[in-house]
Amino acid sequence: MSHRIVFLDRATIAPQIRLRPPSFAHEWIEHAETRADQVLERLAGASIAVTNKVPIRGAVLERLPALKLIAVAATGTDCVDKAACAARGVLVSNIRGYAVNTVPEHTFALILALRRNVVAYRESVLAGRWQQAGQFCFFDHPIRDLRGARLGIIGEGVLGQRVAEIARAFGMLPMFAAHKGKSGLGPLYTPWQEVLETSDVITLHSPLTPETRGMIGTPEFEAMGRRPLLVNTARGGLVDEAALVRALDAGLISGAGFDVVDGEPPRPDNPLMRAAARPNVILTPHVAWASDEAQQTLADQLIDNIENFVAGRPSNRVEGAF
């Protein structure tokens, strides 16, 4: 049997990353991108669909009787109607563990750049301030060490744990925040309110669920007693972005480093886009995951998942609302 494999959004993986051909008889078709109204036509006759962010919903699945596997080229699978897949016997797989270095490293790139005001100093140098200073250095922007700073980590999974490991190497004091509104979670956790009130840096590593959407808003910003940096390399919807800009305006936080926004690509009037030119704000385009090494690991695991499915030993099977 030859499988027809259709990759709906190959452009979401960098062109230099190699996708090795699966080791079984197959037809491989890839599209750089796919609109929602093109999904049904492009998946017609396919037994295996590959998607990173293109939604595959129940109404489409009903009209794709040949489809047996949806291989998601990412960890999050909210783009797939998993209940409809389960009802129709379509297996869903995802990618796991590939970002354990790239996301924490990007997190600390943002923390270091903001904590040491790298962007502000770069802009000052380009504006001629060094020559105006008339000496070997100038002190227009405060610089703070990481050693001794309290790091609030929201999300205690593999990425949050790796961030804590790096933080300890810098001499920081990491704290894992207890889940908002919950208590009695054990000694790993610091109470939610204490993390807000005592952190010098807060970094988010949580999934986006109905429970976590908007978990950081005006009440949380007002509770941040030490004017922390807020870093988000997880999901944009975790933070109320309008409230974030108000917090920057009011000096409730000292800066923001975001790799994600709520709705990507962001509209020009997105609050974070309007604030992105500030020297204490860094906005990167959802690339914390995207080191060449991490992307190649992702690509290799994606083909592994497809080959394992065809061999009758499916890997990274997704069940439930992951």
CATH number of the domain that 199 lies in? 3.40.50.720
Interval 144-173 mean pLDDT: 97
Inside any domain, residue 215: yes
112 and 234 both lie in a single domain: yes
Question: Is 205 a catalytic site residue?
Answer: no
The candidate with the shortest Cα–Cα distance to 99, out of 319, 293, 306, 302, is: 293
Inside any domain, residue 221: yes
Q: Which of 62, 211, 264, 319 is catalytic?
A: 264
pTM: 0.90
52 and 108 both lie in a single domain: no
The per-residue pLDDT for 320 is: 62
Inside any domain, residue 317: no
Give, rounded to a whole angstrom, the gap between the first and last alpha carbons of the chain. Answer: 31
Contact 116, 108 (CB under 8 A): no
Residue 322 has pLDDT above 60, yes or no: no
Residue 321 has pLDDT above 90, yes or no: no
Residue 282 has pLDDT above 90, yes or no: yes
Inside any domain, residue 68: yes
> In this prediction, what percent of the chain has a pLDDT beyond 90?
93
Interval 85-90 mean pLDDT: 96
Render pLDDT for 133-158 as a digit per residue (tens, 0 to 9).
999 999 999 999 999 999 999 999 99
The per-residue pLDDT for 202 is: 98
The per-residue pLDDT for 78 is: 86
For 90, other C-beta atoms within 10 Å of its C-beta total 19
Render pLDDT for 194-237 as a digit per residue (tens, 0 to 9).
999 999 999 999 988 889 999 999 999 999 999 999 999 999 99
92 and 159 both lie in a single domain: no
The candidate with the shortest Cα–Cα distance to 59, out of 83, 94, 35, is: 83
279 and 133 both lie in a single domain: yes
Interval 36-64 mean pLDDT: 97
Q: Which of 26, 106, 205, 286 is catalytic?
A: 286
157 and 70 both lie in a single domain: no
Q: Which residue has the tokens 């908002």?
A: 180
The per-residue pLDDT for 111 is: 98
The per-residue pLDDT for 1 is: 76
298 and 164 both lie in a single domain: no
81 and 196 both lie in a single domain: no
The per-residue pLDDT for 186 is: 78
Query: What's the CA angle centered on 18, arms 159 and 43, to 5 degrees?
Result: 90
114 and 225 both lie in a single domain: yes
Inside any domain, residue 37: yes
Give Cα 234 to chain centroid, integer Å.
4
The candidate with the shortest Cα–Cα distance to 118, out of 257, 11, 215, is: 257
Render pLDDT for 247-281 as a digit per residue (tens, 0 to 9).
999 999 999 999 999 999 999 999 999 999 999 99
151 and 276 both lie in a single domain: yes
What's the number of domains the chain is made of?
A: 2
The whole-angstrom separation of Cα 128 and Cα 121 is 11
Residue 318 has pLDDT above 60, yes or no: yes
Inside any domain, residue 321: no
Tokens representing 192? 């939610």
Residue 297 has pLDDT above 70, yes or no: yes
Question: Is 286 a catalytic site residue?
Answer: yes
123 and 79 both lie in a single domain: no
The whole-angstrom separation of Cα 68 and Cα 245 is 45
Residue 314 has pLDDT above 90, yes or no: yes
169 and 77 both lie in a single domain: no
Inside any domain, residue 320: no
Q: Which of 106, 115, 235, 241 is catalytic?
A: 235
Confidence class for position 187, pLDDT limits 50, 70, 90: confident
Inside any domain, residue 168: yes
The domain of 109 spans 102-283
169 and 228 both lie in a single domain: yes
